[in-house]
């Protein structure tokens, strides 16, 4: 029996049309209530969603197995959903998708209902959620602070209880940083494990769909539903098989105190130390690691020739010289001109050496834990210095796809300001399921029943 089937048998899915309608009514009420959060770009007409719910209820009554029966979700607006506009937060780029991205197709086939498209940093170029013509998207915890990006709307929609889960994308932290600043879970799969067909490309060799949800149990089910090789996607990769589980007594890598950098907010470092102590309490033995290879690889993403890949991908779709771009987006993309083909090859060769260092490191540890982001910034501060502060947000996340790792971002603790701060667990490529199983020790789900009648336990009020 597959994990998805097993979880479905244990779950208490919504069954009747009336129950599904009630959940959707709650979703639309909350979306309407929270328009100030700027987390939606396009919301599906309520009548369409209700009609789909009725059809799903009939199919379920006839015995069809639908693991996500009637569960509402959102999709980042650089992910195609059939019949809905895709704009990547650039209105003049918008088109109506004829076909959904494969990850959306699989969720809909499992009975989930997509309610619309969520806000993002324009063309997924940013980590703040403050680079959108639809308005900055603040954290669900505090309207003064950035939500994190680029998948800002997807994370806030989950944290505010608009939807039970959402899809984002992740190139350099976009599926993790927003999870950290909103107190939810973010799953960044191994690049190529989930098809990127139907995504507006950013850095195609590094892009991957990501998942935002409220429990590890839900995340495991969602990943199993959307993963799989896609021969129509040239960036899809054949999985190398599932890795063995992390032992009960395990070794975890941690950043030394001397290499932590919270950019002027030491309270964040203290919360990371607290998380490391918690892992010791769960049976872990800490090993201080040298973060230098990760920092060096991370600098390549926006300070190296990979920005040229981003420019090449977007310029094929849109006129980045005269198009309707925010000035900060244009500035980032135009920085690609400084890199040559020789620079690109030199960086690739250096990256392979860094990857080998990291591979050897993981022979000594079972998992690595890092802060999801160094610290939060206010929206006002981010708008005043959008490039420098955005780069700081990616200090711990930029390197992960370049180094071919998988990641799970988890809630950790709350700053005295009230802002959530998370930690991220890292493991080598293809260790996704083992990493999620390990994450269950950090956030146990005693119920074990994903997406039951209590899917809207968050966001009340």
Neighbour-count burial of 312, counting CB atoms closer than 10 A to its CB (0-12 exposed, 13-18 middle, 19+ buried): middle
Pairing of strands 284-289, 208-213: unpaired
Core vs surface per residue 372-406: b (16+ CB within 10 A) or e? bbbbbbbbeebbeebeebbbbbbbbbbbbbbbbbb
Give me the helix-helix angle, 327-334 and 386-393, nearest 10°.
70
Tokens of 177: 């940083």
Tokens of 306: 């990979």
Core vs surface per residue 127-160: b (16+ CB within 10 A) or e? bbbbbbbbebbbbbbbebbbbbbbbbbbbbbbbb
List 11, 17, 21, 76, catalytic entry: 76
Pairing of strands 405-414, 367-371: unpaired
Q: Is 139 a catalytic residue?
A: no
Tokens of 169: 């994308």
In whole angstroms, give the CA distance from residue 386 to residue 266: 22
**Residue 30 is inside which H or E element, if any?**
helix 17-33
Q: Is 174 a catalytic residue?
A: yes
Maximum pairwise Cα distance, the chain: 62
Q: Is 150 a catalytic residue?
A: yes
List 11, 87, 139, 174, catalytic entry: 174
List 128, 132, 150, 195, catalytic entry: 150
Report the number of secondary-structure helices (H) and strands (E) in the chain: 16, 13
Indicate the length of the chain as a whole number: 461
In whole angstroms, give the CA distance from residue 359 to residue 365: 10
Asked whether 133 and 91 are in contact (CB, 8 A), the reply is yes
- Which are the catalytic amino acids? 76, 150, 174
């Amino acid at each position: 029996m597959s994990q998805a089937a097993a979880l479905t048998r244990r779950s208490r899915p919504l069954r009747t049309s009336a129950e599904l309608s009630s959940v959707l009514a709650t979703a639309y009420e909350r979306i309407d209530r929270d328009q100030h959060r700027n987390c939606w770009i396009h919301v599906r007409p309520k009548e369409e969603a209700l009609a789909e719910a009725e059809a799903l209820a009939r199919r379920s009554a006839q015995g069809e197995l639908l693991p996500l029966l009637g569960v509402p979700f959102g999709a980042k607006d650089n992910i195609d959903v059939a019949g809905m506009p895709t704009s990547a937060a650039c209105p003049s780029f918008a088109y109506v998708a004829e076909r959904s991205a494969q990850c959306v197709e699989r969720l809909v086939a499992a009975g989930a209902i997509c309610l619309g498209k969520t806000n993002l940093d324009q063309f997924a170029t940013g980590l703040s959620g403050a680079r959108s013509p639809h308005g900055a998207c603040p954290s669900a915890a505090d309207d003064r602070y950035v939500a994190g990006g680029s998948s800002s709307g997807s994370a806030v929609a989950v944290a505010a209880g608009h939807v039970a889960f959402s899809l984002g994308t992740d190139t350099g932290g976009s599926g993790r940083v927003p999870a950290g600043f909103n107190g939810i879970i973010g799953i960044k799969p191994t690049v190529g494990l989930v098809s990127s067909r139907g995504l507006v490309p950013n850095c195609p060799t590094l892009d991957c769909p990501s998942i935002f949800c409220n429990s590890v149990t839900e995340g495991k089910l969602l990943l199993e539903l959307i993963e799989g090789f896609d021969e129509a996607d040239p960036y899809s990769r054949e999985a190398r098989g599932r890795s063995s589980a992390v032992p009960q007594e395990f070794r975890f890598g941690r950043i030394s105190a001397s290499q932590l950098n919270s950019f002027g907010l030491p309270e964040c470092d203290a919360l990371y130390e607290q998380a490391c102590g918690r892992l010791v309490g769960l049976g872990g033995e800490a090993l201080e690691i040298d973060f230098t290879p990760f920092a060096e690889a991370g600098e390549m993403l926006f300070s190296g020739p990979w920005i040229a890949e981003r420019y090449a991908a977007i310029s094929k779709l849109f006129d980045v010289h005269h198009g309707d771009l925010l000035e900060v987006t244009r500035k980032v993309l135009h920085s690609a001109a400084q890199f040559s083909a020789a620079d690109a090859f030199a960086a690739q060769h250096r990256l392979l050496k860094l990857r080998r260092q990291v591979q050897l490191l993981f022979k000594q540890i079972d998992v690595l834990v890092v802060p999801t982001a160094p610290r939060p910034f206010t929206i006002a501060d981010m708008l005043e210095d959008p490039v420098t502060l955005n780069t700081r947000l990616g200090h711990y996340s930029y390197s992960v796809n370049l180094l071919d790792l998988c990641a799970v971002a988890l809630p950790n603790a709350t700053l005295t300001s009230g802002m959530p701060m998370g930690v991220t667990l890292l493991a080598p490529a293809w260790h996704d399921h083992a990493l999620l199983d390990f994450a269950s020790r950090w956030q146990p789900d005693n119920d074990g029943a994903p997406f039951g009648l209590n899917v809207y336990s968050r966001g009340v009020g």
